């Protein structure tokens, strides 16, 4: 009876160890991650008041900071009033535009960036819609990658359904 009990315990221990090794091997082989339900990410933004983008330097968005005392946020800086945030939008856009204009071979000049900044500030002063709207975090849907790299460790979207995105490490 004792021998049977010892064999039963050893058999269970071996089965548990084998299952554990199999599970680890399976996870390592397929690099399984937890499945997370796809939640549509949203953010609150003020509708754009200015659309010009000289050299491709568009105005950054004004988002809701979540702070009721300083609700307007532009690139990490918060402001209590819309006009202050809008001025920062214009200034940041001007700085990016000027950096692009100063690069070799730019087809526009810093003086054109100055003109665009003046137009942006005039549009900010005349803006009538300064309330936040809820928009999706990304305006472009995820698409499957068409090229792969042999040494890429980044997951690539390979499929999706209404509830999940499916990624593989290729």
Q: 89 or 9: which carries more pLDDT confidence?
A: 89
Q: Is the pLDDT at 144 greater than 50, yes or no? A: no
pLDDT of 152 reads 42
Polymer length of the chain: 170
Q: Are residues 49 and 131 in the same domain?
A: yes
pLDDT of 63 reads 92
Q: Are residues 66 and 118 in the same domain?
A: yes
Q: Are residues 128 and 167 in the same domain?
A: no
> Could you tell me the residue range of the domain that residue 167 belongs to?
140-170
Q: Are residues 149 and 125 in the same domain?
A: no
Q: Are residues 124 and 99 in the same domain?
A: yes
Please give the tally of structural domains in the chain. 2
pTM tops 0.85:
no
Per the CB < 8 A criterion, the answer to whether 63 and 83 are in contact is no
pLDDT of 105 reads 83
Q: Does some domain include residue 86?
A: yes
Q: 164 or 65: which carries more pLDDT confidence?
A: 65
Q: Are residues 166 and 106 in the same domain?
A: no
Q: Are residues 114 and 149 in the same domain?
A: no
Q: Does some domain include residue 122?
A: yes
Q: Is the pLDDT at 54 greater than 60, yes or no? A: yes
Lowest mean pLDDT among 41-50, 63-72, 118-127: 41-50
DSSP string, 42-102: EEEEPPPS----GGG-PPPPPEE-S-TTS-EEETTEEESSHHHHHHHHHHHHHHHHHHHHH
pLDDT of 147 reads 38
Q: Does some domain include residue 113?
A: yes
Lowest mean pLDDT among 101-105, 111-115, 132-136, 156-160: 156-160
Between the alpha carbon of residue 28 and those of residues 24, 164, 170, the distances in Å are 6, 22, 14
């Amino acid at each position: 009876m004792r021998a049977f009990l010892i064999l039963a315990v050893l058999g269970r221990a071996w089965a548990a160890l084998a299952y554990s090794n199999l599970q680890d091997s399976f996870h390592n082989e397929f690099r399984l991650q937890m499945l997370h339900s796809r939640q549509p990410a949203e953010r609150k933004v003020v509708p754009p008041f200015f659309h010009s983008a000289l050299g491709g330097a568009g105005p950054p968005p004004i988002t809701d900071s979540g702070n009721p005392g300083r609700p307007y946020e532009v690139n990490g800086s918060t402001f209590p009033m819309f006009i202050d945030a809008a001025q920062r939008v214009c200034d940041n856009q001007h700085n990016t535009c000027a950096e692009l204009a100063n690069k070799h071979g730019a087809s526009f000049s810093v003086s054109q960036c100055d003109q665009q900044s003046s137009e942006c500030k005039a549009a900010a002063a005349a803006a009538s819609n300064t309330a936040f709207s809820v928009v999706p975090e990304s305006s472009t849907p995820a698409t499957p990658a068409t090229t792969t790299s042999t040494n890429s460790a980044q997951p690539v979207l390979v499929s999706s359904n209404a509830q999940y995105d499916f990624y593989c490490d290729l």
